[in-house]
Structure 1
Amino acid sequence: MTRNAAALESFGSVLVAMVTPMDADGDLDIDAAVVLAEKLVADGVSGIVLNGTTGESPTTHQPEKDALVRAVVDAVGDRVRIVAGAGSNDTKHAVRIAASAERTGAHGLLINAPYYNRPSQEGVYRHIRAVADAADLPVMLYDIPGRTGVAIGDEALDRLAEHPRVLAVKDATGDVPAGFARMRRTGLAFYSGDDALNLAWLTHGAVGVVSVIGHVVAGPIAEMVGCISRGDLRRAQDLAVELVGVCDALMGAGQGAVYAKAALDLLGVIPSRAVRSPLVAATEDELADLAERLRVAGLFPAP
């Protein structure tokens, strides 16, 4: 089986990096998380990423991460793949997260380079290798140097590609040509980690997307992925153009978790747009602007 085929089987092709719903006091809202997961499945996703950046992983703690994974796996894990983030700048902590994700039923892991510490490439490799070794689960690497402060360089990536459980890369570097060369060289499956570049990644050989805007437009994204696989580039282009407004609304004005939660609150999917500090929830003015953008995009009814 090729890495692409194994990745599609392990992770799916259309994943949403799910927000972690919280109540007005900032406590985890498991019931809302299950409702949201059910909505995403109904919208056509094939995978859900929990406890990633959009899930506010730096400010959620181990018991909460476990509770979220367990609840979502119990609710929808027989229908879609559940991928758990195992990100930390402390290798031992990331190892514990990965092992716990396996115990609570996750189907795969998303592992990023350790943030803030800015280790050497040898340090990046050793960190990710240790986390991948901590659980018997397929692994998607997450390369997002704009957040971590350090990239997964070519040498580290090539060595990690030799690991039997490393199947894929979620690429949020913004460098599609480099990614094209890397997917060819390593044989790893690539996923778009940047909604604005979904079409570009797919036409360069990516097998799927890990989306934030998929919280509200998973159906059109799934259709776009299907169009590319069928060779219908014109329809895929049309869909990409139609999604520009939603992408600008959710990703262009600030942190994705903030605006994804605000959009879901506006659409009545979750009961609160609360986030944890240091993130700050969308203000009333920002919410009004977002509502107007969603109206223009046809996702929110006019008053």
Structure 2
Amino acid sequence: MPSPTSFASPFHGLWIPLVTPFKDGDVDHAALHALTTRLRADGVAGFVACGSTGEAAALDKEEQLQVLQTVLEAAAGLPVVMGLSGYHLGQVTAQVQQWAQLPLAGLLVPAPHYIRPSQEGLLHWFRAIADASHVPLIVYDIPYRTGARLHTETLLALAQHPNIRAIKDCGGDPAKTQALIADGRLAVLAGEDAQMFTTLALGGAGAIAASAHWQAGRFAALIAQVQAGQLAQARAAWQELQPWIALCFAEPNPAPLKALLARAGWMRNELRAPMMPASPALEQRLQTV
């Protein structure tokens, strides 16, 4: 069995699941480009376009492609992963094939939402998408959004597929997290920001962290400290970051994050319905950040 640090995966370090800025109802590509450029200089390993933080469900297919193209341009060679979700397998695999010519580092793929298939159905879903894809998959284990829970045995079976290389771990099961890290075939990326330190200390490969839009360099340094065994420094850094992480998820993501980024002048505080901006009370608390 490989050790937790021996997997051959391109997915490690700090990844930013980018918000999608809006301006008067349309995607604000200038703000998105500037945001990606700014974060690129802060020690991030790569970017995720059109994830849940990016309000991808509120974007049509053409808008998603345009967002991806803007991020690819601004990333300037840093790897970019594209979010991909749905519940019609034929349409999803067709989308994968349409993206075959794009310079993607991978696809972030959750279970099909709403359907709640069996474990055998989930195996079929991810294997079919991995077979169709020219780039590796990150399995997005997030049952509170999809309604489908991936069992440890299912994930270990998926790890046998050569094109399934990582997991964004939002499953809420510490035993499953530990089992996957111990197995070593999938790079385990913390997907719940509040669990980042624990996952890293257990041997996780990194994090896909929305809260790291703000002071990304501190999050990147935290990951480097844990992986270098500098736990005293990392614990101190983590304690300082926790109040911000708590505020970032005090209301549905990405509303708090967009409120802060708007206050910093990086974009407008605009979301697409049914997502709503952060409450005035939370905006007041965000001023302390």
Q: With the length of structure 1 as denominator, give the TM-score of the two structures.
A: 0.89
1:154 is displaced (CA, Å) by 2.5
Q: Which residue of 2 aligns with 1:129?
A: 127
SS at match of 1:11: coil
Greater helix fraction, Structure 1 or Structure 2: 1
Q: Which residue of 1 aligns with 2:22?
A: 22
Query: Is the CA contact (8 Å cut-off) linking 2:81 and 2:107 kept in structure 1?
Result: yes
Judged with a 3 Å threshold, the aligned counterparts in structure 2 of structure 1 residues 186 and 6 are, in CA distance, closer, same or farther, namely closer
Is the contact made by 2:7 and 2:184 (CA closer than 8 Å) also made in structure 1? Answer: no
2:27 alignment partner, SS class: coil
Q: 1:100 to 1:21 in 2, by over 3 A?
A: farther
* Equivalent-residue separation in structure 1 for 2:190 and 2:168 (angstroms): 6
Q: Equivalent of 2:245, from 244, 247, 256?
A: 247
Q: Distance in 2 between matches of 1:219 and 1:106?
A: 24
CA displacement at 1:5 relative to structure 2: 4.8
Residue in 2 aligned with 1:301? none
Distance 1:100 1:214 in 2: 31
Q: Does 1:199 align with 2:201?
A: no
Counting only pairs closer than 5 Å after superposition, residues 1-303 of structure 1 correspond to structure 2 as 5-7=7-9, 10-25=10-25, 27-78=26-77, 80-185=78-183, 187-251=185-249, 253-270=250-267, 272-292=268-288, 294=289
Does the 8 Å CA contact 1:4/1:188 hold for their aligned counterparts?
Answer: no
Q: How far apart are residue 186 of structure 1 and its match?
A: 5.7
Change in CA separation of 1:97 and 1:217 when aligned onto 2, cut-off 3 Å: farther
Structure 2 alignment gaps of length 5 or more: none
Q: Distance in 2 between matches of 1:290 and 1:141?
A: 32
How far apart are residue 224 of structure 1 and its match?
Answer: 0.8
Tell me the distance in 1 between the aligned counterparts of 2:135 and 2:214.
29
> What is the root-mean-square deviation in Å for CA atoms of aligned residues?
1.8
Distance apart, 1:275 and its partner CA: 1.2
Shift in Å, 1:74: 1.7
Q: TM-score scaled to structure 2, two decimals? A: 0.93
- What is the number of equivalent residue pairs in this alignment? 287
Contact 1:16 1:47 in 2 (8 A): yes
| Matched AA of 2:263 | L
User: Is the CA contact 1:20–1:56 (under 8 Å) kept in the aligned structure 2?
Assistant: yes
Q: Percent identity over the alignment?
A: 31
